Amino acid sequence: MKVTLVSHPIVAPEFYDRLKGTEMGEREQSLGSPYVEDADLVPEAAGRVCYDSFDLPNPATRNNADYLANIKRQLHFSVLEHSNFTFHVAEVSRALLAEITRHRHLSFSVRSQRYCWEGDSQMVIPSALLGDDARDLQVRILKLQGEAKELYGDVVGHLMANGLKRKEAHDAARYVLPEGTHTEFYVTGNGRAWLEFLAKRDSPHAAQEIRELAGLIKWELCQVAPGMFTSD
């Protein structure tokens, strides 16, 4: 499994210009080098504009971490929607893809099995079957993978020989591929969407593969938006 954080919020210099003359602006020290990560700063500013509280009147929420912690306690997640984060996810199964797309507030761009050649694809072996006591089952899974890829290639070859276009041949052939076949996708979500994803998937109750994915995504999010994603 490979997870790469592709993009996260970067605040424009004009934003800091607008903060000048406020206590929040002074707190950020100097233009271009704030001590609060931009991804955390955006939802704080969005929240403060609602109450014109840029002069930090409440000592309990004066710093960014306390402010966002209070937002999360009160479940005022709408301000977290102003920060977006995009990931590239690869070497995961189509089974995982089917699960993660249930999170409807995330946006996806997925490798197409209709257009892309899948004859060289690899397959995820479930972690529950990776132990030494399951070696026989691992061998059988790899054999199944090899047979599926061979059949996939035969189907594509047969259909194209009978006049179908490549896309149409791939479309039919993909039905023989196991659910564990590798895929890759880009996924984008705002702070609220990722919090809700982590609440459900970074959990002992989640399936192992998507739980591993949630752990890697959470680690990346905590680097660029600790106020939003670091647990209290």
Residue 83 is encoded by which pair of tokens?
Answer: 């920060």
Using an 8 Å Cβ cutoff, are 197 and 99 in contact? no
Helix H or strand E encompassing 153: helix 135-161
- What backbone phi and psi angles, to 5 degrees, belong to 123? -140, 145
- What backbone phi and psi angles, to 5 degrees, belong to 69? -60, -40
Helix H or strand E encompassing 6: strand 2-7
Catalytic residue among 48, 174, 192, 201: 201
Residue 166 has, within 13 A of its CA and on its CB side, a CA count of: 7
User: From edge to edge, which strands make up the β-sheet containing 182-190?
Assistant: 2-7, 84-93, 182-190, 107-110
- The CA distance from 199 to 197, in Å, is 6
Using an 8 Å Cβ cutoff, are 37 and 224 in contact? yes
94 in active site: no
Give the single-character DSSP code of 123.
B
Give the single-character DSSP code of 88.
E
SS3 94: helix
Q: Which amino acid is at 79?
A: V
Question: Would you please indicate which residues are annotated as catalytic (active-site) residues?
Answer: 201
